[in-house]
Amino acid sequence: MTEKILAFLVQFVTHVIDSGGYAGIVVLMAIESACIPLPSEIIMPFAGYLVYKGSFSLLWVATAGAIGCNLGSVVAYWIGAKGGRPLVERYGKWVLMSRHDLDRMTSFFTRYGAITVLLGRLLPVVRTFIAFPAGIARMPQLRFHIYTFVGSWPWCFALAYAGKKLGESWNDPNSPFHELFHRFHTVVVVLLLAAVVWFLWSHLKRGRQTDAV
């Protein structure tokens, strides 16, 4: 069952990237940055695997990913800018963002200013939702997009590079990691799905607690 779910995600992501090329990477990363739960931790490593296969350039894969982050972030930025905190609080639960998450990111943004956007793009989960407080604070858009691109590019590059190296090790019987990857494949699948389930459960639980207050 777990392998079927993972296989579906793999097929979806690789199909979009394989069919759409760099544009497919842009679209998938835009979806993630628009706060739809499609983790870049899945998207970019598979793009990196296709770099290993010779389909893409590593530098352009990272660039496409960063461009997608910018495009998707426009949606979240303008929701924050036009609707303000009340709108984000009301509808944030639909993208699994609780009031606690918003409070934490708003606190970071208030304390450290616009540089939070750049640093936040290098942090899991935070990177997905950081555009909301930036929009609420009406951060200048040009600076917002520059910081988003500069912060997203190394994140995308690192994940794609990891995917490239894993592809090399997976298919090289002489690699010291080859046997390890294959022997513990099922364990890796279970841990990945457990992490996704925990993320969904914790955010939904936090959202219900917030609604009850």
Model confidence over 11-38: pLDDT tens digits? 777 788 888 899 999 999 998 888 776 7
Q: What is the pLDDT of residues 95-136, one digit of tens each?
A: 556 676 677 777 777 777 778 888 878 777 677 778 888 888
d(CA 120, CA 200): 20
User: Do the Cβ atoms of 159 and 42 come closer than 8 Å?
Assistant: no
| Residue-range definition of the domain harbouring residue 33 | 2-212
Exposed / middle / buried, residue 162 (Cβ in 10 Å: 0-12, 13-18, 19+): middle
Give me the number of domains the chain comprises: 1
Instruction: Give 174's pLDDT tier (boundaries 50, 70, 90).
Output: low
pTM (predicted TM-score): 0.73
Rounded CA Rg of the chain: 18
The pLDDT of residue 184: 43
Encoding tokens for residue 195? Answer: 């992490």
